[in-house]
Amino acid sequence: MREEDEWDGGVLGELAPEWADRVVFFEECGSTNDEAMRLGRLGADHFTLVLTERQVAGRGRRGSGWVSPLGEAIACSLILKPEVDSVLWSRFALSAGLAVAEGLESFGVSTEVKWPNDVLVRGKKICGILVEKRDDLVVIGIGVNVNVREFPEELNGVASSLLLESGKRWRREEVLAKILVKLKMRAGQVGGEFEQVKIAWEERCALRGEMVEMRVGGELKSGVVLGLSSGGGLLLEGGEEIIQADLVRRC
Ligand code: BTN
C-alpha cells in the first residue's frame, strides 16, 4: 500500500468538519456493521460512523461475503438511532443508495440505483449497502469500490470502481466526505420528506420501464417496473408492490 492510500482522519475532518468527532476508526476489524451494532448498543451517538482500513470479514446481502481491497475501497457503517417509526426503517436502504449515487456523481460519473440499494455505473455495481436493524438501532453498512483496479473473474462485467469508470484515482477521504454530506440529508428525509427521496431515486432507477424478474419468497415473479411505492417497495405495472425480493434482474 502506498502512503497516499492510507486513511487520514484529519483530512476527513477538514473535508467534512461536522464528522470529525463522529468517526470511530479501526485499522482492522471483522465487519464494520458488527462493530457499529456493538458500539451502538454500548451507547454510541446517532450518526456515529465506524470506518476501517482492513475489513477482514465483510458481509454482503443474502449471507454473501464482501471484499474491500486494502487501500482501494471504503468500508464503513453508520449508526442511526432513528426517531421515525420503525415501519419506515426500510426507507433507510433507499436513502443510503441514493446518497451514495449522488455523492459519486461529484466525481464525474453517471450513476443509477437498483432496488433496493445497489449503486451502479454503466450497469456495473460500484457500491453495496447492507442495512441491519436491532431494537432501536439501524446500521447502514456501505462498501464503495473507489480505486479498485481488478476484480475476481466471477465479478467481471458485474462490478466496477470509480477509478475504472472515471479513469482517475480519487482520495477516499474526499469520496467519503461527499457521500456523508448526502447521507445526512437523505437519511433525514425518510419521514415526512420521503417524497423527495422517491423522486430523486426514481430519476436514477436503473430498471424503470423494464420487464424484470425476481424471487419473492420461494416464487419467481415478473413485471414492468414503474418506480417506488410510498412505502419504499418496488412498484410494478398493475399496482403490485414488492416489499422484499432477491435477484431482481431484467428478463
Ligand atoms: C451487498 O451485498 O451488496 C452489500 C455489501 C455491503 C458491504 C459493506 S462494507 C461495510 C459494511 N460492513 C460489512 O460487513 N458490510 C458492509
**pLDDT value for 3:** 44
More confident residue, 20 or 239: 239
**Ligand 1 centroid from CA 192, angstroms:** 28
Backbone angles phi, psi at 140, to 5 degrees: -105, 110
More confident residue, 95 or 18: 95
Span 34-46, mean pLDDT?
A: 97
Q: Taking a C-beta distance cutoff of 8 angstroms, is the pair 65, 59 a contact? A: yes
| Candidate from 23, 24, 33, 54 with most ligand 1 atoms within 8 A of CB, to mutate | 33
Span 210-243, pLDDT tens digits = 999 999 988 999 999 999 998 889 999 998 899 9
Provide the grid cell at 82.
Answer: 432513528
Ordered by where they begin, the domains of the chain are 9-203 (3.30.930.10), 211-250 (no CATH)
Going by pLDDT thresholds of 50, 70 and 90, the confidence category of residue 2 is very low
Q: Taking a C-beta distance cutoff of 8 angstroms, is the pair 73, 149 a contact? A: no
Span 134-177, pLDDT tens digits = 999 999 999 999 999 999 999 989 999 999 999 999 999 999 99
Task: Evaluate: CB of 246 within 6 angstroms of ligand 1.
Answer: no
Span 183-218, pLDDT tens digits = 999 999 999 999 999 999 999 999 999 999 999 988
Give the separation between CA 205 and CA 89, rounded to whole angstroms.
Answer: 20
User: Residue of the nearest CA to atom 10 in ligand 1?
Assistant: 75
Task: Evaluate: CB of 77 within 6 angstroms of ligand 1.
Answer: yes
pLDDT at 81 over 50: yes
Q: Taking a C-beta distance cutoff of 8 angstroms, is the pair 145, 73 a contact? A: yes
Give the separation between CA 156 and CA 100, rounded to whole angstroms.
Answer: 22
Give the separation between CA 152 and CA 111, rounded to whole angstroms.
Answer: 23
**Ligand 1 centroid from CA 237, angstroms:** 31
pTM for this model (two decimals): 0.94
The contacts of residue 110 (CB under 8 Å, 6+ apart) are 121, 122
